[in-house]
């Protein structure tokens, strides 16, 4: 059995709670319950499924401060951001409750027969392997469409946010969900191969690192199971001469440093046209230096700790590598002492801006999953596009220009799953979410996410 799982407050390094992992008997019981519930849930009406999700949404809305407290304590995001995440979950639940039935209706197709159609039917139990950075929203965008399709869900959350996982499970139970509809597996990663291979698991979705994604894909592929992977990103934030810097600069600050910069769709590479580079950088550095970092429950602070000290050490190593190889550190580049003082510093790192990046630096090719903005200057739009696409990742992208032809060019040619023009990359239930290259396989959200874990069945009647 895996070792005890601990929930640690990253602002103080204090252990909040410990959990005993599920043993073989507990895992077997949960898998059996999921299989039994799927046989029932797949026969329920859209009305019943929708009613459940709306009830969960209402319960979340009535308990936002309590839910957000768990999130902030366990993973460190500022309390206001945790409350916003909980509210977004309620919104997402309502959207899938209201729109999924229309997306799952049979599609009639004209054929040389009395009837041709496409029917969308559930697969079974979907195993979700989820990360810690958005511990509520990442789960809701998997379980809401799964429930509406008629599937059931098994959640293996990141160990560091086990309390968040159990809170979500409890919200569904208190909203009237059958016991087998949405269950948390309190297990370590070592148990995943056996769970993925179990015939009662129909498909797998993972949000996480590239290495974890390809490993899970290989395990699922070995037993012929569908996967959806949302992996890393090194999103470009491209600013061209016609951009409105009064909007681009503050949006860039939010896009890079929100959630401590710990987001796959955070703006990570700021690619600036030489005509506006100096002004943008001056304003951007000043705004970065003005960010308040500290106790995430203090409303004056815009950034809390990173998820843990290991993350701080990784960010520190990437920045120090760049510094040693000649990069310019405009601000930040240091650890910070947390609210408990130097004897218990927590996992704090200063918001950082770096330029003078060369290809031999780690930050040039690796995802920097923390509050570090990488700045590049280019001569023209073509060079900006080439640099943006020169990455193993292809998740989101943001381009700032008021030139209509430049907008068309970047929408067409950016190698990314998402292109936002004059705005920050965000996830929303109405639009598909996902990437290409090492950023993943498949899509979440919108009709595309609803259909990912369906049997898309061809119907032909003579």
- CATH number of the domain that residue 221 is part of: 3.40.605.10
In the predicted model, what is the mean pLDDT of residues 407-427? Answer: 98
Report the C-alpha gap between 168 and 166 in whole angstroms. Answer: 5
Q: Looking at the predicted structure, is the pLDDT value of residue 1 above 70?
A: no
Whether 418 and 448 map to the same domain: the answer is no
H-helix or E-strand spanning residue 155 = strand 152-157
**What is the dihedral sign for C-alpha 99, 104, 108, 109?**
positive
Q: Looking at the predicted structure, is the pLDDT value of residue 293 above 80?
A: yes
Report the C-alpha gap between 243 and 276 in whole angstroms. Answer: 9
What range does the domain containing 313 cover? 235-428
Whether 254 and 384 map to the same domain: the answer is yes
Residue 457 lies in a domain: yes
Residue 83 lies in a domain: yes
Whether 344 and 445 map to the same domain: the answer is no
Q: How far is CA 337 from CA 20, 122, 309, 343, in A?
A: 32, 50, 12, 9
| Residue reference for tokens 């640690």 | 8
Q: Looking at the predicted structure, is the pLDDT value of residue 81 above 90?
A: yes
All residues at 6 or more sequence positions from 180 whose CB lies less than 8 Å from its CB, including other chains? 30, 33, 34, 35, 36, 37, 38, 41, 152
**What is the structure's pLDDT at 95?**
98
Residue 150 lies in a domain: yes
Whether 70 and 88 map to the same domain: the answer is yes
**What is the structure's pLDDT at 337?**
79
In the predicted model, what is the mean pLDDT of residues 412-437? Answer: 98
Whether 174 and 225 map to the same domain: the answer is yes
* Number of structural domains in the chain: 2
Residue 434 lies in a domain: no
pLDDT in tens, 373-412: 999 999 999 999 999 999 999 999 999 999 999 999 999 9
Q: Looking at the predicted structure, is the pLDDT value of residue 343 above 70?
A: no
Report the C-alpha gap between 252 and 430 in whole angstroms. Answer: 23
Whether 90 and 182 map to the same domain: the answer is yes
Whether 218 and 275 map to the same domain: the answer is no
In the predicted model, what is the mean pLDDT of residues 224-240? Answer: 98
In the predicted model, what is the mean pLDDT of residues 279-284? Answer: 98
Report the C-alpha gap between 78 and 160 in whole angstroms. Answer: 17
Residue 201 lies in a domain: yes
Whether 73 and 176 map to the same domain: the answer is yes
pLDDT in tens, 136-173: 999 999 999 999 999 999 999 999 999 999 999 999 99
Residue 287 lies in a domain: yes
Residue 345 lies in a domain: yes
pLDDT in tens, 306-316: 999 999 999 99
**What is the structure's pLDDT at 14?**
92
CA 74 to chain centre: 17
pLDDT range class, residue 340, cuts 50, 70, 90: low
In the predicted model, what is the mean pLDDT of residues 243-249? Answer: 98
**Residue 219 tokens, joined:** 């395990």
Q: By the 8 A CB rule, do 103 and 447 touch?
A: yes
Whether 96 and 172 map to the same domain: the answer is yes
Residue 433 lies in a domain: no
**What is the structure's pLDDT at 2?**
55
Q: Is 331 a catalytic residue?
A: no
Whether 21 and 169 map to the same domain: the answer is yes
The dihedrals phi and psi of 273, each to the nearest 5 degrees, come to -65, 140
In the predicted model, what is the mean pLDDT of residues 356-375? Answer: 98
Whether 194 and 262 map to the same domain: the answer is no
From 74, 169, 230, 452, the catalytic residue: 230
From 37, 74, 164, 264, the catalytic residue: 264
Q: Is 230 a catalytic residue?
A: yes
Whether 118 and 223 map to the same domain: the answer is yes
Which CATH number fits the domain that encloses residue 367? 3.40.309.10
**What is the structure's pLDDT at 25?**
98
Backbone torsion region of residue 326, taken as left when φ is above 0, otherwise alpha when ψ lies between -120 and 50, otherwise beta: left
pLDDT in tens, 174-197: 999 999 999 999 999 999 999 999
Percent of the chain scoring above 70 in pLDDT: 98
pLDDT range class, residue 344, cuts 50, 70, 90: low
């Amino acid at each position: 059995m895996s070792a005890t799982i601990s929930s640690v407050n990253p602002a103080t390094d204090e252990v909040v709670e410990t959990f005993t992992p599920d043993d073989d008997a507990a895992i077997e019981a949960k898998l059996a319950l999921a299989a039994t519930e799927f046989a029932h849930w797949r026969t329920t009406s859209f009305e019943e499924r929708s009613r459940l999700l709306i009830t969960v949404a209402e319960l979340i809305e009535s308990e936002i401060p309590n839910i957000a407290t768990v999130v902030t304590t366990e993973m460190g995001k500022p309390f206001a951001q945790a409350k916003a995440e909980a509210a977004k979950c309620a919104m997402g639940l309502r959207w899938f409750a209201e729109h999924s039935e229309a997306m799952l209706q049979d599609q009639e197709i004209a054929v040389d027969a009395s009837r041709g159609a496409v029917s969308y039917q559930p697969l079974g139990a979907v195993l979700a392997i989820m990360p810690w950075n958005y511990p509520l929203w990442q789960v809701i965008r998997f379980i809401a469409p799964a429930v509406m399709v008629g599937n059931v869900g098994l959640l293996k959350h990141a160990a560091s946010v086990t309390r968040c996982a159990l809170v979500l499970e409890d919200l569904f139970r208190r909203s009237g969900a059958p016991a087998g509809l949405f269950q948390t597996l309190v297990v370590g990663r070592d148990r995943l191969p056996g769970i993925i291979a179990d015939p009662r698991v129909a498909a797998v979705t993972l949000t996480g690192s590239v290495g974890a994604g390809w490993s899970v894909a290989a395990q699922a592929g070995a037993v012929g199971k569908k996967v959806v992977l949302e992996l890393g990103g090194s999103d470009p934030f491209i600013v061209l001469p016609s951009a409105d810097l009064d909007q681009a600069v503050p949006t860039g600050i939010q896009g890079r440093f929100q959630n401590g910069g710990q987001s796959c769709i955070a703006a990570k590479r700021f690619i600036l046209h030489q005509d506006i580079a100096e002004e943008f950088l001056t304003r951007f550095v000043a705004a970065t230096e003005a960010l308040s970092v500290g106790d995430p429950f203090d409303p004056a602070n815009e950034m809390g700790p990173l998820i843990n000290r290991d993350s701080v050490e990784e960010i520190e190593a990437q920045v120090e590598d760049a510094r040693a190889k000649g990069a310019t550190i405009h601000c930040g580049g240091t650890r910070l002492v947390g609210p408990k003082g130097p004897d218990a510093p927590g996992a704090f790192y200063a918001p950082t801006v770096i330029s003078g990046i060369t290809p031999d630096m780690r930050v040039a090719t690796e995802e920097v999953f923390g509050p570090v903005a990488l700045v590049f200057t280019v001569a023209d739009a073509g060079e900006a596009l080439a640099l943006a696409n020169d990455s193993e990742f292809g998740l989101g992208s943001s381009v700032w220009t008021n030139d209509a032809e430049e907008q068309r060019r970047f929408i067409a040619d950016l190698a990314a799953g998402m292109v936002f023009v004059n705005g920050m990359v965000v996830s929303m239930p109405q639009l598909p979410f996902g990437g290409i290259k090492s950023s993943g396989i498949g899509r979440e959200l919108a009709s595309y996410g609803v259909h990912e874990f369906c049997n898309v069945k061809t119907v032909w009647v003579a």
